[in-house]
Chain A
């Protein structure tokens, strides 16, 4: 055994000014540190993901609570949560339920077959790639659509904003907006999470009669049903929010799906 350890011992016996020792120590510290960090990150990942999933569920629940009468409606229809369906974004049709269970957004974005690269001028939400499919959440009563929740995301000021947009059965009126995840500047952009700000969304219309998406966050007072007050001091977060909503409600996003629903129903 002593022979095996002797090179190590010799290494540590070298002077601290020796070049081999300096480089060796640097490499050694880097290796040990990165091993410690990686092991912890990998081992704790399931716990962290469970936390995030629980938080997203809680936010979805909170959004449902902000909708007047939504809980009663859900009680009436006898469901305790929304139905998840997978939509093919290009033609707006529903994908099969097996696909829906297996859908993984991160994996789809890595896969050239399951997602498309966006041209810079089409990519107003700043997301670079868009998966070909997306989950949507529906509430139905007696086969009739009552509410639809669309997951949307895009670039804010310094983080990706993830939100859930609930739309009423007329498919133009916004029922609520919930922020699922964001990391913009606390006190400025992060104020998109404040209940007072989110309370302006219900009742707004995201598109006009011709189907053109017109929703916008504006400076100063919102004056039309398509306008929502932006956040002062957080212009880029507000612009980011406008752009991501316009992207996801537009042709590259849920546009074809919403058009199909308007024409043929579920």
Chain B
């Protein structure tokens, strides 16, 4: 398990969003435009690295009986600090992301990595694991964000790429893409794509539907 593995495995092979289906609530909320998706990705990656680092640093002294409370307290503090920095230096962006940055605290991805990895591994691998998972999450967010912004408005990063029908061009923006359900559609298609290319990711059903064959004595 090299550092390189911790960094690259979560990108596609063990992607937190498409394989583990973690943290999709924010993937859905902030991906209407590419720029919010980028900001959210950076914020989450920083939180993930810091929280993994801090929790790994004190892992020998976290009493197991209150470990979740301690982890969530640390994550919440880091998130508030980052939110404060954004309000001070990236005011416009912080207004657009408003509550979603605060909701990083409840992002299952952060607590998931702290509990599954940082509690059992030294600091450096933990930080790298945080970075890798943050990048994996970012990759999905960027793909969904870019598709939604382009199909929904005909622009990327607010720069118009094609002339929309309203301005006399041929491109009719797909209004649905700006609504939350479209993130599910794109995410679903993405999961399908990844699993079609890597069939080993397909989960075995826990229960099989009973067929008429089974019913025979």
**Proximity bits, A32-45, B CB within 8 Å = 1, else 0:** 01101100110010
| Residue A25 lies at the interface, judged by CB distance under 8 Å to chain B | yes
- Of chain A, the residue at the smallest CB distance from B179 is A187
**Proximity bits, A18-36, B CB within 8 Å = 1, else 0:** 0001100110011001101
Given contacts A26-B70, A29-B70, A51-B91, contact A40 B85 (CB under 8 A): yes
Cβ of A16: which chain B residues have Cβ within 8 Å of it? Answer: 60-64
**Proximity bits, B56-94, A CB within 8 Å = 1, else 0:** 000011111110011001101100110011011101000
Q: Report the contact-size class of chain A (Cβ under 8 Å from the partner).
A: 20 to 34
Given contacts A17-B63, A21-B63, A22-B63, contact A41 B77 (CB under 8 A): no
| Residue A208 lies at the interface, judged by CB distance under 8 Å to chain B | no
Bound CA span A55–B64, Å? 47
Cβ of B20: which chain A residues have Cβ within 8 Å of it? Answer: none
Cβ of A22: which chain B residues have Cβ within 8 Å of it? Answer: 63, 65-66
Do B64 and A44 have beta carbons less than 8 Å apart? Answer: no
| Residue B172 lies at the interface, judged by CB distance under 8 Å to chain A | no
| Residue B14 lies at the interface, judged by CB distance under 8 Å to chain A | no
Do B66 and A26 have beta carbons less than 8 Å apart? Answer: yes
Cβ of A51: which chain B residues have Cβ within 8 Å of it? Answer: 87-88, 91
| Residue A12 lies at the interface, judged by CB distance under 8 Å to chain B | yes
- Of chain B, the residue at the smallest CB distance from A51 is B91
Main secondary structure of the interface of A (DSSP, over half): helix
Do B84 and A12 have beta carbons less than 8 Å apart? Answer: no
Bound CA span A210–B63, Å? 72
Do A40 and B61 have beta carbons less than 8 Å apart? Answer: no
| Residue A5 lies at the interface, judged by CB distance under 8 Å to chain B | no
Given contacts A16-B63, A17-B65, contact A55 B91 (CB under 8 A): yes
Bound CA span A37–B74, Å? 11
Do B69 and A37 have beta carbons less than 8 Å apart? Answer: no
Do B77 and A183 have beta carbons less than 8 Å apart? Answer: no
Do A41 and B84 have beta carbons less than 8 Å apart? Answer: yes
Interface-central residue, B60, B61, B62, by most chain A CB under 10 Å: B61
Do B88 and A47 have beta carbons less than 8 Å apart? Answer: yes
Given contacts A40-B85, A44-B84, A44-B88, contact A25 B61 (CB under 8 A): yes
Do B87 and A48 have beta carbons less than 8 Å apart? Answer: yes
Bound CA span A12–B65, Å? 16
B57 to chain A, nearest CB (A): 12
A contact set with B: CB distance below 8 Å:
12, 16-17, 21-22, 25-26, 29-30, 33-34, 36-37, 40-41, 44, 47-48, 51-52, 55, 183, 186
A-B contact pairs, 16 of them (CB 8 A): A16-B60, A22-B65, A26-B66, A26-B70, A29-B70, A29-B73, A30-B73, A36-B77, A40-B85, A41-B84, A44-B85, A47-B88, A48-B91, A55-B91, A183-B98, A186-B98
Question: 3 closest A-B pairs (Cβ-Cβ)?
Answer: A47-B88, A33-B77, A51-B91
